[in-house]
Structure 1
Amino acid sequence: MFEPGHLHRSSQPGQIDFDVDLFYEVRRDPNEGQMVHFRMEGQIAGKAFKDEFELHRDTAFNFASVATRMAAKHGLPTNHSLIMRSHDEFDRMFEDIRDKLGAKSGETVSFDHLEKDGL
């Protein structure tokens, strides 16, 4: 389920049990400029977790990669994708982030930001 600022995912039959919420908002850092703050919380195989990460404006569109790695860190197998199962909701989330940032296709990406964001 997607609504602006929030993506919810839960397991399908035959998958490890999980129920995960990914929340996001744009923040302004005095040194780094626009950042997208992500908070992921829920449970994977009955174990509760909460984690957060931030991405620079120009690297924010790699959020799916970071969210997948974070979920894997908490026990979700990478083939139990949080993002790709309902690609239409991923597309809506991507567009919502783009709108919130005022981003346009073709904008440059800073290699420094890629490194800082661990991408």
Structure 2
Amino acid sequence: MFKPGHLHRANPLDLLHLPKFDIDVFYEVRRDPVEGVLMHFKVVGTIGGREFCEEFDMHRDTAFNFASPITKAVAKHGLPLNAGPIMPEHTEYDAMFEDIRLQLGARTGEPVDFDHLDKDGL
């Protein structure tokens, strides 16, 4: 389920050989005096009955690669890489992408600072 600033995914049963999970992804714009505009992500929930919480920031120009660090975060806690919470429902991925674009005031074709790719772990 998607609403601006929040994506929720759950697998309440052991379906498709995946562990039970209940994951929330929250995101918001933050301003850092040194780094500038950042998108802050908080990924929380349970996977296989174990609670977890991961938080990270992405620079304005790299925030559109949000699926990669979110997938890595949940994989670290037991969800297989090919079962990340972002892509199973592509319409919600598209809505999240658009919401992030609007929150950041970003436009197609803006340049990417390659140093930000390294800082954001991409």
Aligned pairs for 1:28-107 within 5 A: 28-107=31-110
Q: Which ranges in structure 1 are unaligned for 5 or more consecutive residues?
A: none
Unpaired stretches in structure 2, ≥5 consecutive residues? none
Query: Aligned partners of 2:83 and 2:113: how far apart in 1?
Result: 31
Supply the distance in 1 between the matched residues of 2:84 and 2:70 (Cα, whole angstroms).
10
Q: Which residue of 2 aligns with 1:113?
A: 116
CA distance in 2, matches of 1:33, 1:52: 18
Deviation at residue 79 of structure 1 after TM alignment: 1.8
Q: Cα RMSD between the aligned structures?
A: 0.9
How many residue pairs align between the two structures? 119
Equivalent residue letter for 2:44: E
What is the TM-score of this pair, normalised by structure 1?
A: 0.97
Name the structure 2 match of 1:5. Answer: 5
Q: Kindly, what percent of the aligned residue pairs are identical?
A: 61
- The runs of at least 4 aligned residues of structure 1 exceeding 6 Å deviation read none
CA distance in 1, matches of 2:50, 2:84: 18
User: Retained in 1: the 8 A contact 2:70–2:84?
Assistant: no
How is 1:18-33 mapped onto 2 (pairs within 5 angstroms)? Answer: 18-33=21-36
- Residue by residue over 1:62-85, the C-alpha shift from the partner in whole angstroms, topping out at 9 and shown as x without a partner, is 110000000001111112121111
Deviation of 1:16 (Å):
1.3
